Every structure is written in structure tokens, then in C-alpha cells.
Amino acid sequence: MTFHTLGLSLPLLNAIESMGYNEPTPIQAKAIPFIVKGTDVLAIAQTGTGKTAAFALPILEEFLQFPKRVKANAPRALILAPTRELAQQIFEAIEGFAQHTTIKSAVAYGGVSMVTQTKALEAGIDILVATPGRLMDHMRQKTVDLSALECLVLDEADRMLDMGFIKDIRAILRYCPAQKQSVLLSATMSAEIRGLARSMLHSPKVIEIAPNKDVALIEQTIYRVAQSRKRDLLRDLIVDNRWEQTLVFTRMKHAAARLAHHLEKDGFTVASIHGDKTQSARARALADFKAKKVQILVATDVAARGIDIEELPHVVNFELPANAEDYVHRIGRTGRAGQTGTAVSLMSAAEQPQLEAIETLIKKQLNVIEPEGYASEDEEFLIEEKKAAPAKKKPQERKPRREPRGMPFEPKEKSFARRSENRQRVKKSDIGFDYVLPEFDFDRRR
């Protein structure tokens, strides 16, 4: 199948060609014929599958075929995205696809002045890309009018629900005309997504793109390491393997800021994107990383969701994500468009349940390595003690002498080491631990 056979007009075909797209991705081949006909669509697809073009191209095709403008600030298509970065990225993609047309688009998100956005709206637009909060601000100030809307797209709907946007979405829907086409894209299918789809889609075409398709080319490794030694291991991995562009994920914004600070002290060039940064600082960090001005970008899931970085060879999970699906999103940043990539996760003992959830989701057992020299001081103490102990002594009869104040010992899952033949036990394999200290993030307690 080619873009030509999908029935797209010459200005779009020329733009696609200049952007280097040779053939449609599966989501594009499946969704474009339906969206172009005006059918409602529910697409289960992740970022990296080419989903932006899958909804943007048919909308542009429709507007090329039937140009009209009712009112300056009344868009014909509205695309809602959960984060500013994703909204900006969608807007840029649309500008690229529409480069040989007169179709106008604008983007509206928080953290920057409303004035420029209002001016762009007043100048007359066909397509508006927005985050829900900022769109509501424009609706309140009557700087946008949704009465002429013909098509509504909700991108990364699952993330919008996770981020608590459901009330805003429902409020926005009330201001949209009942007669319109709706497209809902989500990386995952949950009961909540089904509920939202039922309430906003009419006889939708459901398209599902296999969830772990793009992770096949990614070499995934889990390093089992003490929480307190993660920073050292990360530094050594980057230096020893001569990693250049590396994207590091943390769960919390303060952890991202702290890690970026430490990596800078280690001599790396680092940028970070997280919720405590201003929008211009986030945009600058992303631009610097994309332009290879900085070697490492530290990001939280929320800030980095959906962002697309070409030729990104290394992704590091500084902590395993709480939500297994986020693992696929995070590592999907690398290994794009047939390229290979590496995804490394630093896992403390306390994160073992997250690993199991990830392995269940991706239906694959991951290679777990216990690198030499990165156990915590308490673990090292136990290892030394174990080595010194007489061989006959049964491990379960012994109790470790040291115990951190207020911290009970937890039984270690014996099955951990044996879960897979693939598990590479670099250390402790012949020691036969029965107990390890629970992991402790000393930084968090400060």
C-alpha cells in the first residue's frame, strides 16, 4: 500500500515525501480510509506508530477537498493532547503535512502567554491543537468558538484520564456540536477508555495496533542494584559504554531534578524536563537534547509522554515505572522506525513486583544482571559475612547481625534467581541468601 492508494491529494503527498515517509505505517493504512470517510474511530496505538499522521492526514485531506471558514476563531478540527510537549509536536507535524496548502493551524497550551495564541486564533484557523486546561481558558475568555467543529480528536486519551482531565474533557464536549466526527486514540484499552468511547463515539471503527510491536528491536536489560548505588551505576554505564544521547526516566519530578544535578556534578551535559520547570525551560531542554547540545535528558513520564526524538539509541529507567504500560512507552522512545536501541532499567529489590508486571504485559522474560560492586553497604556487609561463614551452616539458621533502625527484615523471594535460565547471576549466585535488607532511598528521607 502507498499513500497514493490511500487517496491523498498531491500537496499532501509531496509533503509526506519531503518528510521521508515512503509507505504508510499499519495505523495509517488502517485508520486513514475510515477517518477520511467521516467515520468515528477508536484507535489503540502507542506513540511511535505514526498515529499523528493517521489522524492529521485525513483531516487535512477533507479540508483540502472542502475548504471553508465560517468565523476566524472557530476551528473545524480540534485535537486535544495531554501535555504541552505532545501538543507542540502534533502542531509541528501538522504544519509539516500542510506546508503546500493554505490550511491554517494553531497550538494552545499553558505555561506561556495567551496573547500570542489569541492572535493566532483571531487570524483564522482550521485546526487547533490544545491541552484541555488552556483550551478551557480560551473558552472562558471567548477567544475560541467551538460551534463550527467538524472533527474532534482525543490523543493519548488514557494519559488524559490518568492526569485527571476527564472533567475538562466532558466540559469541552458539551460545547462541541453534537454532529461531528470523533477520533479517540489511546495506548491502552481500559474500562474507563471503553466508557469514554461509548459516550463520545458513534458506531466507531475499532483499530488496534499490537502493543509491543516496536519493542522487538530494543535490547532490554535490567540491572539489579541497590537504590543508593543507582547513580554510580548510571554514571559508569554511560562512561564505560560511551553512550552519547541518553534519555533517563525518573518517576518523580524532584528525583529528576536531583539526578540531573548529580550527573552535572559528574561532568555530563544534562537537561531535564519535569513539572517544576517552566514551559520555556522544558522546550529549551528538549530542543537542546534533540540538537545534541546536551548528552543526557532526565525526564518524568508525564513530561516526556509522546515526545518523539529521532535516532535515540539509549533509554534508561532510573526506576521501573509504577505502571507497566509506561515501561513500553518509555522504551519505545528508542528503536524507532526499524532502528535498534538499548533500554536499561535500574531495579532495586523493592521494584521486583513492577518487573513481574512488565514481563506479564510484554509477554517476555527480561535479562536481569546483578553487576559486581553495586550492592548497598548493608548488602555488601551481608555478602562478606556470608562468604566468611562456615560452609556447613544452613543459611536460614543465621540471622544478619546488623539491622537498620526501625526496619524489619523482609524475606527475599527465593524464586527470583531461578525464575529464568536467562538470568545472568554475576554476583551472589553461589551464596544462597535467604534475607536481604529492604531497599531504602536515603535521599527521599532528607
Q: How far is the CB of 19 from ligand AMP (least distance, A)?
A: 6
For ligand AMP, which is the closer residue by CB, 39 or 47?
Answer: 47
Helices 51-65 and 84-97 cross at an angle (nearest 10°) of 50
For ligand AMP, which is the closer residue by CB, 53 or 294?
Answer: 53
| Bridge partner list, 240 | none
55: nearest Cα among 24, 19, 84, 83:
24
Q: What 3-state class would DSSP assign to 132? A: helix
Helices 26-37 and 51-65 cross at an angle (nearest 10°) of 30
- Cell numbers at residue 100, please? 503546500
Q: How far is the CB of 156 from ligand AMP (least distance, A)?
A: 10
For residues 155 and 125, give the distance between their C-alpha atoms in angstroms, rounded to a whole number. Answer: 20
For ligand AMP, which is the closer residue by CB, 230 or 305?
Answer: 305
For ligand AMP, which is the closer residue by CB, 52 or 105?
Answer: 52
For ligand AMP, which is the closer residue by CB, 96 or 124?
Answer: 96
Binding region for ligand AMP (CB under 6 A): 21, 24-25, 28, 47-53, 308, 337
Q: How far is the CB of 124 from ligand AMP (least distance, A)?
A: 26
CA contacts within 13 A on the Cβ side of 16: 25
Q: How far is the CB of 302 from ligand AMP (least distance, A)?
A: 17
Q: How far is the CB of 27 from ligand AMP (least distance, A)?
A: 8
Q: For 148-189, where are the E strands, in sequence order?
A: 151-154, 181-186
Q: How far is the CB of 139 from ligand AMP (least distance, A)?
A: 27
Q: How far is the CB of 46 from ligand AMP (least distance, A)?
A: 7
Q: For 254-409, where are the E strands, in sequence order?
A: 270-273, 296-300, 314-317, 341-347, 367-369
Phi, psi for residue 36 in degrees, rounded to 5: -65, -30
For residues 428 and 270, give the distance between their C-alpha atoms in angstroms, rounded to a whole number. Answer: 34
Q: How far is CA 90 from the centre of its chain?
A: 15
For ligand AMP, which is the closer residue by CB, 18 or 429?
Answer: 18
For ligand AMP, which is the closer residue by CB, 28 or 188?
Answer: 28
